[in-house]
Structure 1
Amino acid sequence: MARALGWDIGGAHLKAALSEDDRVLKVWQMVTPIWRDFESLQSAVDRIDEEAGDVVSHVITMTGEVADVFPSRRTGVEQIARIMGERLSGDIRLYGGEAGFLSLGDARSNVFDIASANWHASATITAQRIEEALFIDMGSTTTDLVPVSDGKVRAKGHTDRDRLVSGELVYQGYTRTALMAVAREVPFIGRSIPVMNEFFATMADVQRVIGNLEEIDDLHEAADGTDKSIEGSRRRIARMVGMDAADARDGAWEWLAHAFAEAQVRAIHDAALKVLSHDEITDDAPLVVAGAGRPVLRRLAARLDRGVVDFSDLVDCASNVRDDIRRAAPASALSLLAAGR
């Protein structure tokens, strides 16, 4: 039986999924802040490779090449590919989206196919398993929106630049996005107040205060490096508007958190309308949702008056890894694509 590992290497997290034939068996997610050093990535790869056991093939995708530790994306792709090649054995491939499976030696000549192509793997599996849909994956930092129909990925862009322009990539994430990047002004106690351009709080604080956060989705330290409690999140959110948590009642901070959550879903809604305006999928096509931000995407589906299909419902898997697959759609998709080669 074909056993394959799909690897999704981000700037902040490493995700991997093990598949056998057409079934996902296990998923890993580890904190690997490569902008600090590569040691966390290297040790995580070693651990996963050991726990996975015998594997016929490895397929790698990445977004970590955009980390500012690298002087260019080209350097990032080449260095990440080199690290993986040094630590893994057997058949190792890089995923290049429409360019398919590439050898490690192709990293330099196919940089722009390989860079940030993880969304394409998830969309490809979605296109194979549902007639039509708008696939949306909201992770900790970004949101991908990709229409699929007739077994094909209908994306207009491939590079980050082109996808930003097309609305298919939105730099809004469920936990790590700084609040200063979500709204410039927010309603608070009956009036509008500007938001400070300071890294005082993140969307993890917002999700925690409004009761939407599963702590497994917030693996990095808080903006101030202190406690990740509701009280700590209120304190950080209050600083965004030049106040302390003691300056207003708890309910006021909850409403402020809702204001930031609303601003974020509006940004993703605008992107979805831009993508849907190409009229390549019908009004009946559902949203296939993945990522930590599924609660946000369900709100979006209601606004768009569309049904919702969870990405993990398209995948044959052990019941105990279903939630993990939702959080690691690209790695899971890659493992299935590799196992089916």
Structure 2
Amino acid sequence: MEKRKGIIAGFDIGGAHLKVTRAQDGRIVEAVTIATPLWQGLDKLASALDETAPIYAGADLNAFTMTGELSDIFPSRDAGVAALLGQISTHFPADKKLVYAGPSGFVGVERAAQLTADVASANWHATALLVAKLAGDALFVDMGSTTTDIIAIKNGAVANDGYTDAGRLLTGELVYTGFTRTFLFGVASSAPVHGRLTPLMNEYFASIADAHRILGVLDEDDDRHPPADGKEKTVDGSIARLARMVGRDATDLTPPEWGEVARWFSEQQLRKVHDAAALVAGTLSRDVPIVGAGSGRWQIRRLAERMERSYVDFADIIPADDTVRGQASSAAPASAVALLAGYPS
């Protein structure tokens, strides 16, 4: 299918990050993710839109999806959608913006306000739909900073069971764990230390980003929020934070021993995702690959090995300049709406 030519900017407005991409003649040529802690106020989004303005400058069309309506700054999801649509209306020309509404496709802002159930947290659907167009049958897994989406793609179509966050939590299609922002006590209640299973301190002393930093698999560009103690983002800093989770100091174990503790937490996260993926993949044939997107692609590759399925990186199948493929995959929903909006309706 021939794509509409021109410049299309894609936006994924999340509760913790704003992701923006620029598609030119059907290819992603720029992509950026910046920290946007919406829970601190809508002014954070306004500032983020100003900061990313060079990415969408001169765009013929701006395409939006969102999950930020879940932020606790809003009293309800409907109110959150309305507030974010208000921000979109304020910052962008009326004739140059569309909002992704899942099964209803791209709609104008006024129509989006009437379809809040379709608009709310629909970013996973946009990315899955693009994968369906590009890869055919697949088990699509997108692990971002906070959550993991697991979607079956069958016969070139999105074969989701649930749609809302609540529905997808029940089906395994949404796992509330991500590659950087997840609290360690969100993936395990204890950890082996010197051969003893040690209960965790039920405090936000460390995040999964610390575990992945210690393991050497974290791209620092993907960890855009302050650590739990507000101190340095170094291996030593992460070890100190990890040690507090089990009531110890960093000097109580050697760095390799702390590496094994970090590996435990990453493994526990992977098990949660694996359990859900086994459910979602139940109707897919064994030769269907896993397509992985998001900042947690390292974890998704491990999932593919565990499930004995081939792995395909979202970054490798989307039309994009080679220099931005990684960033475009980390910002997968923004890439998706930018590219999908370029298909003739």
TM-score computed with the length of structure 1 as normaliser: 0.97
C-alpha displacement of 1:217: 0.9
Unaligned runs of 5+ in 1: none
Q: Paired residue for 2:339, among 324, 336, 340?
A: 336
Match of 2:133 in 1: 128
CA distance in 1: counterparts of 2:320 and 2:112, whole angstroms: 31
Give the drift of 1:51: 4.1
- 2:162 aligned residue: 157
Classify the secondary structure of the residue corresponding to 1:316. coil
1:163-191 CA distances to partner (integer Å, 9 max, x unpaired)? 00000000010000000111012222112
Moved more, 263-272 or 319-328: 319-328
Cα distance, 1:131 vs structure 2: 2.5
Query: How far off its partner does 1:103 sit?
Result: 1.7
Is contact 1:14–1:32 with CA below 8 Å preserved after alignment? yes
Shift of 1:40: 2.6
1:135-214 equivalences under 5 Å are 135-214=140-219
State the distance in 2 between where 1:23 and 1:75 align.
Answer: 34
Measured on the aligned residues, the alpha-carbon RMSD in Å equals: 1.2
What residue in structure 2 maps to residue 29 of structure 1? 33
Match of 1:72 in 2: 76
**How many residue pairs were aligned?**
339
For 2:19 and 2:313, the matched residues in 1 are separated by: 19
The one-letter amino acid paired with 2:323 is N
Q: Which amino acid aligns with 2:78?
A: R
The 1-side partners of 2:38 and 2:89 are apart by 17
174-183 vs 42-51, which moves further: 42-51
Residues 1:91 and 2:96 aligned together: yes
Among residues 20, 23, 38, which one is paired with 1:19 in the alignment? 23
Tell me if 1:49 matches 2:53.
yes
Q: Which residue of 2 aligns with 1:234?
A: 239
Which whole-Å deviations, capped at 9, do the CAs of 1:292-324 have from their partners, x for residues lacking one?
101111111000001111102211111111111
Q: 2:330 aligns to what?
A: 327
CA distance, structure 1, for counterparts of residue 78 and residue 328 of structure 2: 29
Instruction: Give the fraction of aligned pairs with identical amino acids, expressed as a percent.
Output: 43
Q: Partner letter of residue 217 of structure 2?
A: N
Runs of 4+ in 1 over 3 A off after TM superposition: none
Secondary structure in 1 matching 2:224: coil
> Is residue 11–residue 18 contact of structure 2 (8 Å, CA) maintained in 1?
yes
Aligned partner letter, 1:245 = A
Aligned residues of 1:46 and 1:87 also touching (Cα < 8 A): no
Normalised by the size of structure 2, how large is the TM-score?
A: 0.96
State the distance in 1 between where 2:91 and 2:159 align: 35
Q: What is the CA–CA distance in structure 2 between the aligned matches of 1:300 and 1:241, rounded to whole Å? A: 27
Classify 1:42/1:153 alpha carbon distance in 2 versus 1 (closer, same or farther; 3 Å): same
User: Among residues 258, 264, 269, which one is paired with 1:264 in the alignment?
Assistant: 269
Residues 96-144 of structure 1, C-alpha deviations (whole Å, 9 max, x = no match) = 1111112211343211100100011111111011121101000000000
Higher mean C-alpha displacement, 19-28 vs 201-210: 19-28
Q: Is the 8 A contact 1:140 1:292 kept in 2?
A: yes
In the alignment, structure 1 residue 6 sits paired with structure 2 residue 18: no
**Quick one: which amino acid aligns to residue 65 of structure 2?**
T
Spell out, residue by residue over 1:213-249, the C-alpha distance to the aligned partner (whole angstroms, 9 max, x if none). Answer: 1111111100011111111101111111111112222
2:305 aligned with 1:289, yes or no? Answer: no
